[in-house]
Structure 1
Amino acid sequence: MKILLINGSPKGKRSNSLKLAYSFIEGFKNGCTDDEESISIDELHVASMNIAACKGCFACWQKTPGICCIKDDMQKVIEKLIDADLILWSFPLYYFNVPGILKNLIDRQLPMSLPFMSSKQNGYGSGSHDSRYDMEGKRHVLISTCGFYSAVGNYDSVLRMFDHFLGKGIYTTIFCGQGELFRVKELSARTDEYLSTVKCAGSEYAMTGTISEETDAILHTLLYSRDVFEKMADASWGISKTTGEKEPDDLVFTRQMAALYNKDAYDGKDRVLEIHFTDLDHTYQIQLSKTGSEVFTDGRLSPTTRIDTPFTVWSAISRGEIGGAEALGKQMYTVSGDFSLMIDWDKFFGSASVVEKTEKTPQNTIEQKKPSMTTMLIPWITFWIAVSIHPKVGAMITLLVVATVPFIMRKHKFVIWDQLSMAAVAILSAAANITGNGVLPTNIGYLVFGLFWLLSCLTKEPLCAAYVKYNYGGENAHQNPLFMKTNYILAAAWGTLYVLTAIWTFLFKKAGFENVLILVNNLIPILMGFFTAWFEKWYPARMARGKRK
């Protein structure tokens, strides 16, 4: 299999369209049944080649059949076109057609045609010419990006041209709007999704010779909505729309960030985000409302949330060079005011995926959900209640619950604390059933449960973090000092509570205050739950303001 990649971009290897072409080739190689060694890939970067414009002299038809009178790199191109099995035409859209350098190459294909009129009807027009060479069986794919929000309606002249010399309907296209976004590192999370889909398209094309309707539909999905893209595009020029004057880089950056605001996330609360770039001493305000976002440079609004940060830090965060939560935890920037905006940052400003996963889940495979603390708590709660009421019967009920928990929670991932809890509860229930005594096993249960929490503080991941980290980036949450410290404190608090519960339960029962004990052991965990809900919001916000103990 010989693949010829023709890069018709004047930008050469810096081409945005070329990124799509490379992804397609990568997918093609993965999907091809041939050995990878049997696949050869030849690249022609037209910008670095010497290909002059056609003179229209027809010498290649009359004087030197099949050979152009211009002695440059085009003869090599023709040889490769004849030899290739698959030809990829990669180019940006320039003024609603291919760039001039690629049009020269297309014009110079004239020696590949015979001069005599043909009666074949494989395209448009009132006539055609037969090929001088055997070009049957060759496959062509057109890959292109343009600067409009959508490719729809902008490639009509390109399609008509390729219909003429390739034949209508015998080539495949991947046309993508918003092409300039592929060079913006800050948006790579979104553009990489699209490139992944292009890779999938390449794999499908290798296996079937076509791109599936499902994948093609995803390829036609906008990277961003029209209003978001056009705001980012307008801001990228760095020129004021009202004065025409050049704007500072940090203002351009702020306008583009504001353009990413997802007004669909509006929760009925107007917000004003104030950003002070401490290294530049520039302050900007972004008003966030149900109608969209607007940037102000005169400080006219009262901020609800303020971020003080060096511009270098904030831009590094946007490029993914450092995590925003990690940088905040290290106090590389500070936040004051309403901290909820930072907690829900991805909801308001994140480049939410609009591309569905193209990998299909095999049939009969259960897709696992994130771990749930319910898995750990069900056995313990059942044990404490049931065994306290009747040791033997309660123990049997608890053992039955422990046995069914893996089935009930089968759609969720299990963590070590789930497994340890089920094992510990099973052992304690068996002891209660054998001895007929529920007092000592339940008391030991409080102690064991508390020790689980305390011992987890000696590991890289406190117990509560094992469950809630999926709401904060999964494993990346380990790099967030605020998240980790908050969860270490909470784990230590819960562990201490249940160790103390074991102690006072023993003392209260010995003193005969069982009625008081029932009230205490139910009320204090509820109060601790309220404390947890408050602390997990208060503590990160306090630390984000730059205050330390």
Structure 2
Amino acid sequence: MNILAINGSPKGERSNTWRLTSAFLQGIATREESAYGRTPAVETLHVTKLDIKPCLGCFSCWSKTPGTCCLHDDMQAIIEKILWADVIIWSFPLYYFGLPGPLKNLIDRQLPMSLPFMSVEAQNGGHPSRYDMSDKRTVVISTCGFYTAKGNYSGVTDLFDRLCGKGGYTALFCGQGELFRVKELAERTDEYLSHVEKAGEEFADGGITGETRAKLDQDLFPRDVFEAMADASWGISKSGEAEDPSLVFTRQMAALYRKDAWPGHDVLLDMNYTDIDKTYRIVLGKNGSHVEEEPAEGFTTNCTTQINTPLSVWRSIAAGEIAGDEALMKHMYSVEGDFDLMMHWDEYFEAARGNAGSGNADASVNELGTGKNADEPKTNMLLLLIPWIVFWVAASIDSFWGSLLSMAICVLLPVLMCRTKATRYDQISNLGVGACSIALLTGASPILVIPASYFLFGLIWTVSCFTNVPLTAHYSKNSYNGDAALRNPIFMRTNRILTAAWGILYLVTPIWTYFIMQTDAASFVGAINSVLPALMGVFTAWFQKWYPQHIARG
């Protein structure tokens, strides 16, 4: 396959549109290599580097020198490349609802490729091609600065409908094109580029599927979010005065706020940039967000949350150059006030969705913004606990029937919770409870087996502390953006401490359980041993909030 990629952007290789085109070409190359073991031959033309004079409209290429232009520049070589190519990709940004001027010159100068005679097949008039172009495929890729491509490309489609025939080319139009140069939004734009690459693979295989087309047609961000970011990016106020770069940066961050995350009261987030001695307040309200500059006498009301950070550090976090959670662990910045905002950063800020936007979302301690799929099955600690609870309560009352009931639970529970994602600890628990039940059914003494079961349960928790993911993390991650939380050092350290605490509790529980089993209270041992875990549960709920906040305060 021979491909000619024509970059019509005056920015050349720095073009936002060219990033999409490069992804599309990569997709074609991937498909060609996997299917045929070879890569396509690609010729790239950057129009700004070429000598292409405007068409004179003299029609010498039709009458005096048929097929050859009277102007001597790079155009004749370009025509030869067009004739060589099997696929022609036109890549350009939208300029005033049309093509950039240099690219329009190139298209005008294709006149030698047409014959002067009128075509009877063209409904509204036209000229037949001098060459057989029937086996060539055309792709048009373009970005624009509006929030959507819909309704803004009629001038472009009218042109290519005439050049290629209606439906005779593949178009990929993308709004919000300027976002592809913003490092802070790289995760969201990279996700879109992956869809473009997929489209390239499918194009090489015959055509872009409806599923991929639907993903390409989605706006990167809602209109209000994009337009607020775009307005802030100019760095000037509405009165025309230049704004401080730190204020521009903060306005763009505030623009990512999601109104539907409003918690019922305004959230006041103070960004205290310690290296430039400036503080801005981001007000997150019911109808949107806005940024206030700190007056000389300071804010008259207390903030909800304050982030104390060098601007350089926060910019690096926003750009994905530094992981926000690791920066917090290293005390590169600190957080005061309500830590809930940090714990649920992705719910407040749009960049974290489909994150998505690592961008500013990386500043959250939860490594937010991975686009977690709500339909994916989740872990459930009940799957781990129920077999043990049933065994401890039922077997202490009646060892025979309690053991049978426990084994029945071990068999039925995975079936009843088929939509739940099981962990290795769920499986180990089932085996452990089953082994303890069999021991009782075969005549082993409950005085020994029941304390041993607590020890076994504690051993499972304690051993997991020395693995990559401690036991509690497998279950608590559901409240902190799923598997993304497992990459967060604060989350992992918190859960490692909690897992160790629970493990120790159950390792020492067999001591008093053994003595209780020898008294008249033996049948109540399960209820007695539920008191400390209940208190431990209260401690766990408190520690999960206190410890990350303790670290955040430095």
Deviation at 1:354, TM superposition (A): 6.3
RMSD: 2.2
- The residue correspondences of 1:85-484 to structure 2 (distance < 5 A) are 85-121=86-122, 126-209=124-207, 211-242=208-239, 244-298=240-294, 299-300=298-299, 301-353=301-353, 369-435=377-443, 437-469=445-477, 471-472=479-480, 477-484=485-492
Deviation at 1:245, TM superposition (A): 1.9
Identity of aligned residues (%): 53
Determine the structure 2 residue equivalent to 1:492. 500
Which is further off, 382-391 or 408-417?
408-417
Deviation at 1:170, TM superposition (A): 1.1
- Distance across 2 between alignment mates of 1:71 and 1:500: 91
The residue type paired with residue 467 of structure 2 is T
- Distance across 2 between alignment mates of 1:218 and 1:354: 12
The residue type paired with residue 38 of structure 2 is E
* Kept in 1: contact 2:85–2:136 (CA 8 A): yes
- Distance across 2 between alignment mates of 1:273 and 1:485: 26
- Distance across 1 between alignment mates of 2:544 and 2:39: 58
The residue type paired with residue 528 of structure 1 is M
Q: What do the CA deviations read for 1:51-106 (whole angstroms, capped 9, x no partner)?
A: 11112222211221111122211111101111211111110001111101100100
Deviation at 1:523, TM superposition (A): 2.2
Determine the structure 1 residue equivalent to 2:361. none
The residue type paired with residue 5 of structure 2 is L
* Kept in 2: contact 1:29–1:36 (CA 8 A): no
- Distance across 1 between alignment mates of 2:540 and 2:198: 45
Deviation at 1:379, TM superposition (A): 2.0
- Distance across 1 between alignment mates of 2:465 and 2:211: 47
TM-score, length basis structure 1: 0.91
Which is further off, 429-438 or 102-111?
429-438
Distance 1:48 1:508, change over 3 A: same
Determine the structure 2 residue equivalent to 1:11. 11
Q: What do the CA deviations read for 1:500-534 (whole angstroms, capped 9, x no partner)?
A: 22111122333544477455312221221122111
* Kept in 1: contact 2:387–2:406 (CA 8 A): yes
Deviation at 1:448, TM superposition (A): 1.2
The residue type paired with residue 381 of structure 2 is M
* Alignment pair present for 1:75 and 2:76: yes
SS at match of 1:56: coil
Determine the structure 2 residue equivalent to 1:361. none
SS at match of 1:134: coil
Which is further off, 322-331 or 137-146?
322-331
Residue number among 525, 535, 549 corresponding to 1:541 in the alignment: 549
Determine the structure 2 residue equivalent to 1:41. 42
The residue type paired with residue 284 of structure 1 is Y
Q: What do the CA deviations read for 1:478-508 (whole angstroms, capped 9, x no partner)?
A: 5533222211221122112212221111223
- Distance across 2 between alignment mates of 1:392 and 1:200: 60
Q: What do the CA deviations read for 1:327-365 (whole angstroms, capped 9, x no partner)?
A: 212221111111100000011014254699xxxxxxxxx
Distance 1:482 1:81, change over 3 A: same
- Distance across 2 between alignment mates of 1:273 and 1:3: 51
- Distance across 1 between alignment mates of 2:116 and 2:269: 68
SS at match of 2:128: strand
* Kept in 1: contact 2:396–2:526 (CA 8 A): no
The residue type paired with residue 435 of structure 1 is G
Deviation at 1:323, TM superposition (A): 2.1
Determine the structure 1 residue equivalent to 2:367. none
* Kept in 2: contact 1:51–1:72 (CA 8 A): yes
SS at match of 1:62: coil
Deviation at 1:404, TM superposition (A): 3.2
SS at match of 2:236: coil
Q: How many residues align?
A: 531
- Distance across 1 between alignment mates of 2:482 and 2:268: 29
* Kept in 2: contact 1:85–1:138 (CA 8 A): yes
Q: What do the CA deviations read for 1:421-474 (whole angstroms, capped 9, x no partner)?
A: 222212111101111643321211111111222222233332212332354455
Question: Structure 1 regions of 5+ residues with no counterpart?
Answer: 357-366
TM-score, length basis structure 2: 0.91
Question: Structure 2 regions of 5+ residues with no counterpart?
Answer: 357-374
The residue type paired with residue 279 of structure 1 is D
* Kept in 2: contact 1:87–1:139 (CA 8 A): yes
Which is further off, 255-264 or 498-507?
498-507
Deviation at 1:540, TM superposition (A): 1.2
The residue type paired with residue 434 of structure 2 is A
The residue type paired with residue 11 of structure 1 is K
Which is further off, 502-511 or 409-418?
409-418
- Distance across 1 between alignment mates of 2:521 and 2:479: 42
Distance 1:490 1:372, change over 3 A: same
